[in-house]
Amino acid sequence: MEDIMKDFKFGLPTELEYGVGKIDLLGKKLEDFENCLVITDKGIEETGILDEVKSKLGGLDIKIYSDIESNPKDFHVEMGAKIARDFDPDVIIALGGGSPIDCAKGVGILLSEEDSDIRNYYGSDTVRREILPFIAIPTTAGTGSEVTFSSVITDSDSGVKKSIRSPFIAPNISILDPKLTTSLPEDLTAYSGMDAFTHAIEAYTAKTANPLSNSLALYSMELILKNIEKAVEKPYDLETRGATLVGSTIAGIAFNNSDVASVHCMAESLGGKYDAPHGLCNSIILPYVMDYNRKYCTDKYAKVADLMDIEFEDSDSGAKRSVEEIKKLNQKLEIPSLYKIGFKERDIEYLAEMSAENLSNESNPRPMGKEDYETLFKKIS
């Protein structure tokens, strides 16, 4: 009866529409609106997904804001808010991976708060009112941002990733259509899938884990583990894409009601410093943090080994095998080394300090300080 004595509360204000072809519902969902700001990125424009979405918008007046990059910065949010103020939308659509969705959350905050500086909202419960009606349409299976109360924005002055956490920024509706994820390239499919798996395993093992987040995390891990390699190999298989998309959304709900932990603390330090893909940073770090945490969540890691159909004698050996199998999975997915993202050993002290200061540091099952993070970065490099 894992975590059964822990209190929890659960909230999901987001209405979910899942299924192949569900993007066709978009027009109906927007019947009551007149002006729509679509926040996306150049990659999505190039795939043709944006054209498909635009074709569902009927007579709505549309403005597109696509000048954002991965790891969106404060100025991407502020530029989006400026465009939005001029256009005066009554609904925002975020189309893409975590970057457009997180950026759209920031734009929504600046509009509702009548502020122009997103830095005023870093932290928890800093947002005081509901944002504009907001629809998220994920095109990756990884972020979870389509159901979470958080947005991660990179502060351009310090190069540090900052979280904004508030129930007011959760999307009102998320449309999960596996068709929209089929054009995601192999490497991003692998990275975002491992981001989703990291959300689930961190939600499951965090100090904040509870019976409800555990149940969500376990099924999402199963879906992701059984489908991530197939999604890379057969990108147009809608059943596989559907499984990873649902797995990723469930993992998002799990960590939103528990937390992420040290893998994300380290990945966000790396992502802020080197502007590297978030999912890739998580993938590289995950097995090392699992090994470091192993003695603090042995039974839970053994359950992860179970999900991978591994036979083991006792929880200790099961936990050990789960770490080995995640390392093997990384190899199969061709996850590159830390140096590929620009990592430099001379940055370890800074990266460790940023990791220790992350809002999710306290949630890691093993207590972690700056020295622990230094040890881990040295092990990985």
Residues that bind Fe ion (CB under 5 A): 195
Q: Using CA atoms, how far apart are residues 14 and 108, in angstroms rounded to an integer?
A: 16
Q: How far is the CB of 47 from Fe ion (least distance, A)?
A: 22
Nearer to Fe ion, 195 or 372 (CB): 195
Q: Could you tell me which of 11, 48, 18 has the C-alpha nearest to residue 245?
A: 18
In the complex, what is the shortest distance from the CB of residue 271 to Fe ion, in angstroms, rounded to a whole number? 9
Neighbours of 255 (CB within 10 A): 32
Number of neighbours of residue 4 by Cβ within 10 angstroms: 8
The nearest distance, CB 264 to Fe ion, in angstroms, is: 6
CB of 284 to Fe ion, least distance (A): 13
Residue closest to Fe ion (Cβ): 195
Q: Could you give the CA distance from residue 100 to residue 180 in angstroms, rounded to a whole number?
A: 15
Quote the least distance from Cβ 278 to Fe ion, whole Å: 6
The DSSP bridge partners found for residue 165 are 124, 150
Q: Work out the angle at residue 124's Cα, subtended by the Cα atoms of residues 118 and 130, and round it to the nearest 5 degrees.
A: 65
CB atoms within 10 A of CB 336: 12
Q: Specify the residue, 146 or 195, whose C-beta has the smaller distance to Fe ion.
A: 195
Other C-beta atoms closer than 10 Å to the C-beta of 73 total 21
Structure tokens at 174: 């998320």
If the CB atoms of residues 195 and 259 are measured against Fe ion, the closer one turns out to be 195
The rounded radius of gyration (Å) of the Cα atoms in the chain is: 20
Place of tokens 């050990």: 320
Return the number of the residue (137 or 261) whose C-beta is nearest Fe ion: 261
Smaller CB separation from Fe ion, 248 or 298: 248
Least Å distance, CB 152 to Fe ion, is 8
Tokens, residue 276:
């590297």
What is the C-alpha separation between 381 and 372, in angstroms, rounded? 14
Min. distance of Cβ 97 from Fe ion in angstroms? 11
Of residues 195 and 291, the one with the C-beta less far from Fe ion: 195
Residue 192 or 298 with smaller CB distance to Fe ion: 192
Measured from the CB atom, is 89 or 98 closer to Fe ion? 98
CB-count burial class (<10 Å; 0-12, 13-18, 19+) for 66 = middle
Distance in Å, CB of 199 to Fe ion, minimum = 6
Closest of 15, 14, 22 to residue 176, by C-alpha: 22
Nearest to 129 by CA among 116, 111, 147: 111
